[in-house]
Amino acid sequence: MSLLSVRGLGVHYASRAGKVRAVDGADLEVPAGSILGLVGESGCGKSTFGRALMGVLPDAARIATGEIVFEGRNLLALSARGRRALRWRRMSFVPQTAMNALDPVQRLRAQMLEVLQERGGLGRAPALARAETLFRQVGLDPSRLADYPHQFSGGMRQRASIALALALDPALVIADEPVTALDVIVQRQVLDVMRDLQARLGIAMILITHDMAVVAYACDRVAVMYAGRIVEAGTAAEVLERPQHPYTMGLTHAFPDVHGGTSALVPIDGAPPILIDPHPGCRFAPRCPFAVARCHAETPVLASEGDHTVACFRAGEAPALRAAAAEPATWARS
Amino acid sequence: MSAVIAAEGLEKTFRVQGREVRAVQDVSLSVKAGEAVGIVGESGCGKTTTARLLLRLEEPTAGRITYDGQDITALRGRALLPFRARAQLVFQNPFDALNPRFTIRRALAEPLRNFGIPVAEHDARIEAVMQRVRLTPSAAWLDRHPHELSGGQLQRVVLARALIPGPKLIVADEPVSMLDVSVRAGILNLLRAARDELGLAAIYISHDLALIRYVCERTMVMYLGWIVEDGPTAELIEQPLHPYTRALVAAVPVPRVEQDRAPLPIRGALSDKPLHGVGCAFRDRCPLAFARCEAETPLLRPTTTGRRVACHLGEAA
Amino acid sequence: MRGSNIWRFLKSEPFAVAGGAIYAVIILLAVLADRIAPYNPREILRVNRRIARYVPISPEFWLGTTAAGKDVLSQLIHGARAALEVGITAAVAVVAIGTLLGLLAGYLGGWVDKTVTRVADIVLGLPFLPSMLVLAALTHGGTSTVIITVTALLWPNTARVIRSQVLSLRERAWVEAARVTGCSNARIMFVHVLPQVLPLAALYGSVAIGWAILAEAAASFLGFGDPEVVSWGVMLQDAYANQALSRGAWNWFVPPGLAIVLMVLAGFMISRGSEKLLFPKLGDQ
């Protein structure tokens, strides 16, 4: 059974222009102990999705539909108190900028102890010991617990927020663009920390990112999000090497490979739809080079072929479409 | 073919809160017409400052800059105007690169006005450049304001503004890093087409080595203000000579599941107190450092294969 | 600004609307003073061949008369002219000088900045009223003195704020873009940056109007104003000199005092209410 099972999640924001369906019917399965990369571009709803899972949405947003089944329990059926009890204990969050997680006027030790003692109920001595262990686990020198966040570099701060997220031994860590703002060498080190934690402690992670290369490096499963919906999901190898959704096909050709062999980068013309009163049909159809009449009228549902799920009417023709998708000419619009 | 722009021994030191920060140290480079050179490195390596020095947006603390053979280091104010007309910049943040109160038309006319292009020609040139960046029909865009355009559209306008005075050199500072992935290829293709059709010299600044490989024939790697290695991009990536380049290349993830996940050949982290004075700036992180690295600053030397590397291990590294 | 935006703004900012209404009334009074005022404000009026001194509120004299037999209401209405003349002139001067110096100091930096900031600091250290009175005493008073004094004492506030804004605007990419595309410093300052700071300058201008009027009233009240001019401050001075308070002739000194208060208040209300209009958040539709 999956550690986390999301079905039909809908998150709406109230805005002056109308109701924005930031997440509109998203389904996702996260097996225990796996690192899942949730990949998509800006505005696709991946951040909102992550926050909805954690229950840390801004006031203007509300979860309108769906269920989030975590460790067998539907989180949306819990009271606010029940959800707060879960937060940090079974599920924790690493925000995009470490400075959103760390208190600038408290030393790291105090921040770690706060979580360990107040949330975790540990005594001071065991809490201190655990704090040191956590720092070591993320590759930080335990003596740095005495420092303030501003004395850390960007990469170290990010590792400190990961340590904080791991404090109470959660089963799932949701990390929102954890390495986006970091230099490439530091990025690699932080990703290695995450993989190491997965290997040694069996922690599951959802890595929210826009970078396919990061996903390929660090994740064993991938879910692709577009316009508030998950359009494809499966193992990293399957989704990256044999994508079945045209958007995924486009995305995989939009990232250059440092070792060459990128003949031409594919631009996907147009822009994602505005998520207020979306029109019927597949959200990607206006930009899809393979769209047919049915795509504009009916909304495709996530269908699975074993472990690989995809929401596209033409998924059966994937191999032929993939070949066409590799050519920039396919994507050129008049 | 002679260089469009060249620099010798460029240095720039900032004074920040009483401390001296050596942002650029002994940078020498040259770029020919039609050539695309990448400057790559992590934060604090001096790549952006180098670009700003070349464009004379900052005064070098030492060194010389020549444009088309003419020394422009000492020029100021009005005297720089002919140079400005020939050297333009594509900015990183499309949302901040245009005056929010100007219409697109006005933003494009500004360089024409400043560089003394007769008013009668303005409309034609604006139309031509809008065609080139594929924002057509231009009438639909020219009277809009920046807040009405998306990131990708704005970046096209920024490119148009850079191309409109007919420059010979374009410097692009992280031109696509703030754009969505699906939009990046479009901008990069436009840049490349402009280069090919207009024979421009181009300098790309980026932290993304994969992008640099896609776009530039030659690349320079910078670390803490120094050039540590340069040469043809593919060669530099596949056979790095400098230990830092080696670590940098190894650190870049590729969009394929099968990839190298071995530990990086580098120690420690970038500290905020960079080593000054004599010795190699990379020595505290280099796995191959030895006594000479502490005692003597390595010079950027040419190799037998047309590359340059600043390392005491030289070609043997 | 689109029409629907203006309407929505008016509905949501009662302060700005109220302040604007007050100004509108005062402007109307000033412009139409000759038509509206029932009498000549300087004319000594008689009732039944006796000078109409201290007449209380009555049908012929809506606000009564002064000790010299002049109509209070007519003086009040004509006083609006003086108030606006002083207020607006001084405000424009403060804004112009303050903005110019703030712009130069913020953009050019270096010795220009140092000089302007030093001078501003010194001026800010001076106490407003005493300095004004000293200057008035040295130059024999009058409306122009008040205007010049107010300008000389109030420009640093505007200059400081404008300078801060210019300092932050200077770092924006589009200012750098202006340099790269060949703009001279002067062009960048006046064509690119100035339009961005004008809303802030206007804000300070509306506050400066209030201060200027207060200054004029204070100067006139203390006898340093121009007694030939019919202004609210002179009215107050006149009332005080004739011991209107102990006579209970509140119809004489309350109206001008109230008028001053209202006008100063209106200035603050407009500036407060205009903040949202002049500084819309980016992307706020």
**Cβ within 8 Å of residue B108, ≥6 positions away:** B126, B129, B130, B142, B157, B160, B161, B164
B92, B99, B165: residue with CB nearest C174: B99
For residue A202, CA distances in Å to A29, A93, A130, A192 come to: 17, 17, 18, 14
Q: Are A205 and A194 in contact (CB under 8 A)?
A: yes
For residue C223, CA distances in Å to C41, C151, C244 come to: 19, 20, 16
Which among A211, A181, A182, A185 has a CA at the least distance from the CA of B263? A185
CATH number, domain at A201? Answer: 3.40.50.300
Residues A119 and A82 in one domain: no
Which among A241, A190, A251 has a CA at the least distance from the CA of B251? A190
Residue C283 confidence class, pLDDT cut points 50, 70, 90: very low
Give the C-alpha separation, A142 to A155, whole Å.
16
Question: How high is the pLDDT of residue C278?
Answer: 63
Question: How high is the pLDDT of residue B316?
Answer: 56
Residues A111 and A201 in one domain: no
Question: How high is the pLDDT of residue A334?
Answer: 40
Lowest-confidence segment of A194-208, B137-151, B180-194, C198-212 by average pLDDT = C198-212
Residue A235 confidence class, pLDDT cut points 50, 70, 90: very high
Partner-chain contact A250 B182, CB within 8 Å? yes
For residue C173, the chain B residue with the least C-alpha distance is: B97
Tokens representing C263 are 């006008």
Question: Does residue C124 carry a pLDDT above 50?
Answer: yes
Average pLDDT, chain A: 89
Average pLDDT over residues B267-296: 81
Q: Which residues of A touch B43 (CB under 8 A)?
A: 183
CA distance C13 to chain B (A): 25
**Neighbouring subunits of B (3+ Cβ pairs under 8 A):** A, C
Q: Which residues of B touch C192 (CB under 8 A)?
A: 99
Provide the number of structural domains found in chain A. 2
For residue B208, the chain A residue with the least C-alpha distance is: A184
Which among A326, A310, A187 has a CA at the least distance from the CA of A250? A326
Any domain includes C117: yes
Domain of residue A325 covers 4-90+170-331
Q: Are B94 and B154 in contact (CB under 8 A)?
A: yes
Residues A204 and A142 in one domain: no
For residue C194, the chain B residue with the least C-alpha distance is: B101
Q: Is C223 left (phi over 0), alpha (psi -120 to 50) or beta?
A: left
Q: Identify the residue with better confidence: A310 or A279.
A: A310
pLDDT tens digits for B65-122? Answer: 999 989 999 998 889 999 999 999 999 999 999 999 999 999 999 999 999 999 999 9
Q: Are B125 and B117 in contact (CB under 8 A)?
A: yes
Quickly count: other Cβ atoms within 10 Å of residue C82's Cβ. Answer: 25
Quickly count: other Cβ atoms within 10 Å of residue A305's Cβ. Answer: 13
pLDDT tens digits for C209-253? Answer: 888 888 888 878 887 777 778 888 888 888 888 888 888 888 888
Give the C-alpha separation, B3 to A159, whole Å.
45
Question: How high is the pLDDT of residue C5?
Answer: 62
- What's the distance, CA B65 to chain centroid? 15
Q: Which residues of B touch A259 (CB under 8 A)?
A: 237-238, 254
For chain B, which residues make up each domain, given as ranges? 3-254+261-316
Partner-chain contact A271 B207, CB within 8 Å? no
Which among B313, B48, B307, B28 has a CA at the least distance from the CA of B171? B48
| Residue for token pair 């801060």 | C164
| Residue for token pair 């190799």 | B303
Residue C285 confidence class, pLDDT cut points 50, 70, 90: very low
Tokens representing A301 are 């549902």
C48 phi, psi to nearest 5 deg: 55, 45
**Cβ within 8 Å of residue C273, ≥6 positions away:** C13, C14, C15, C16, C17, C19
Q: How many Å is the Cα radius of gyration of chain B?
A: 21
**3 state SS of B24:** strand
pLDDT tens digits for B12-47? Answer: 999 888 888 889 999 999 999 999 999 999 988 999
| Residue for token pair 């444009």 | B67
Question: Does residue C282 carry a pLDDT above 70?
Answer: no
Residues A26 and A125 in one domain: no
Question: Does residue A288 carry a pLDDT above 80?
Answer: yes
Q: What is the DSSP letter of B91?
A: -
CA distance C132 to chain B (A): 40
Chain C CB within 8 Å of residue B55 CB: yes
Q: Are C259 and C30 in contact (CB under 8 A)?
A: no
Residues A195 and A305 in one domain: yes
Please name every residue paired with B222 in a beta bridge, in sequence order, or none if there are none: B227
Question: How high is the pLDDT of residue C9?
Answer: 64
Any domain includes C60: no
| Residue for token pair 């000759």 | C34
Residues A113 and A148 in one domain: yes
Q: Which residues of C touch B92 (CB under 8 A)?
A: 173
Question: How high is the pLDDT of residue C249?
Answer: 83
Arch. (CATH architecture) of B3-254+261-316? 3-Layer(aba) Sandwich (3.40)
Name the amino acid, one letter, at C196. Q
Provide the number of structural domains found in chain C. 1
Instruction: Looking at A167-262, list the stretches that DSSP marks H as alpha helix, in order from N- to C-terminal side.
Output: 184-201, 212-218, 236-241, 246-252
pLDDT tens digits for C148-188? Answer: 888 888 899 899 999 999 999 998 999 999 999 999 999 99
Give the C-alpha separation, C90 to B242, whole Å.
68
Please name every residue paired with A39 in a beta bridge, in sequence order, or none if there are none: A209, A224
pLDDT tens digits for A106-138? Answer: 999 999 999 899 888 889 999 999 999 999 888
Partner-chain contact B255 A268, CB within 8 Å? no
Residues A121 and A190 in one domain: no
Q: Identify the residue with better confidence: B48 or A15.
A: B48
Any domain includes C67: no
Partner-chain contact A214 B209, CB within 8 Å? no
Residues A175 and A85 in one domain: yes
Question: How high is the pLDDT of residue C3?
Answer: 56
Residues A282 and A311 in one domain: yes
Domain of residue C247 covers 3-32+78-278
Average pLDDT, chain C: 84
CA distance B274 to chain C (A): 26
Residues A267 and A122 in one domain: no
Average pLDDT over residues C36-64: 82
pLDDT tens digits for A19-32? Answer: 889 999 899 999 99
Q: What is the DSSP letter of A101?
A: T
Q: Report the complex ipTM.
A: 0.88
Q: Within 13 Å of residue B205, how many CA atoms lie on the same side as its CB?
A: 22
Average pLDDT, chain B: 90
**3 state SS of B176:** coil
Question: How high is the pLDDT of residue C17?
Answer: 82
Any domain includes A96: no
CATH number, domain at C134? Answer: 1.10.3720.10
Q: Quick one: chain B helix, strand, coil %, rounded to 5?
A: 35, 25, 40
CA distance B74 to chain C (A): 17
B43, B214, B253: residue with CB nearest A183: B43
CA C216-C219-C220 angle, to 5 degrees, is: 85
Residues A250 and A320 in one domain: yes
| Residue for token pair 């089963």 | A171
Q: What is the DSSP letter of C53?
A: T
Question: How high is the pLDDT of residue A182?
Answer: 85
First-to-last C-alpha distance (Å) of chain B: 32
Q: Identify the residue with better confidence: B64 or C280.
A: B64
Average pLDDT over residues B122-142: 92
CA distance A333 to chain B (A): 12
Residues A301 and A177 in one domain: yes
B238, B248, B256: residue with CB nearest A184: B248
% of chain A at pLDDT higher than 70: 99
Q: Are B235 and B305 in contact (CB under 8 A)?
A: yes
- What's the distance, CA A184 to chain centroid? 19
**Last residue of one domain, picked from the residues A165, A193, A213:** A165
